[in-house]
Amino acid sequence: MGRWEPNAHERLQHAALELFHERGYDHTTVGDIAARAGLTERTFFRYFTDKREVLFSGANDLAAIIVTAIAAAPTDVAPLDTVVLGLAATAPGFEPRRAYARRRQTLITAHPELHERELIKLAALATAIATSLHHRGLPRPAASLVAETGIALFKHAFERWVDDAKKHDLAHHLQAALAELRVVTAAAARAPRRRARSA
């Protein structure tokens, strides 16, 4: 019923991050966030289900970008490369937000309830990726494995991107992570097979 508030979403997000930084995440309430943004709690809850959600509201947009890029990828690109290509499509959007991403990452690492939410969002992202690979003809179990592996690459690349003094973009770090994965996977082929399959 409340009147329309211009940029309420952004104002709330900005206020929340300011307060999390100033007072700590645990000592910031939804009421504090709304007050700092010059809005009501009721308005807050029109945009976010809770305090945590402020940090995760971009997840759906992210999934949409990735899935769209996967759907548009040439069909002769191998599945894991397709996923990396999809993930890399998020790089331009992340690029101007590196400082924000670093602060957000620090918060998430420090708070189990945020870490929890992050894991859930990443699991949902893996499911979305698996579904879009499946639509491209990859059987379900393989699609899930490739999607989960893609998420492992994404987490790895994201952490390196956030702290990269050289300022390479996320797409660069995704390619580097994929190259690294290839090394550990390929190296395995040269390792001796000592294990007796006795069990």
5 binds its own copies (CB under 8 A): no
Token pair of 142 as six digits: 């393989």
Q: Is the dihedral of CA 66, 157, 102, 49 positive or negative?
A: positive
Among 99, 165, 187, 196, binds its own copies (CB under 8 A): 187
What distances in angstroms separate CA 102 from CA 109, 117, 158, 160, 162, one per listed residue? 11, 17, 10, 10, 5
* Binding of residue 98 to its own copies (CB under 8 A): no
194 touching its own copies, by CB under 8 A: yes
Q: Which of 23, 31, 123, 135 binds its own copies (CB under 8 A)?
A: 123
Rg of the chain over CA atoms, in angstroms? 20
Alpha helices in the chain (DSSP H): 8-23, 30-36, 41-47, 59-72, 79-88, 91-94, 98-110, 112-135, 140-162, 170-190
Does the footprint of its own copies cover residue 130 (CB under 8 A)? no
In the complex with its own copies, the residue whose CB is nearer, 40 or 175, is 175
Choose one: 38-46, 59-67, 97-105, 177-185; the region binding its own copies (CB under 8 A). 177-185
Of the pair 17, 70, the CB lying nearest its own copies is at: 70
Q: Is 6 in the site for its own copies (CB under 8 A)?
A: no
149 near its own copies (CB under 8 A) = yes
CA angle 42/44/50 to nearest 5° reads 110
Q: How far apart are CA 25 and CA 121, in angstroms?
A: 19
Tell which one of 66, 153, 162, 174 touches its own copies (CB under 8 A).
153
Which residues are near its own copies by CB under 8 A?
A: 74, 76-81, 85, 88, 91-92, 112, 115-116, 119-120, 123, 141-142, 144-146, 148-149, 151-153, 155-156, 159-160, 169, 171, 177-178, 180-182, 184-192, 194-195, 197, 199
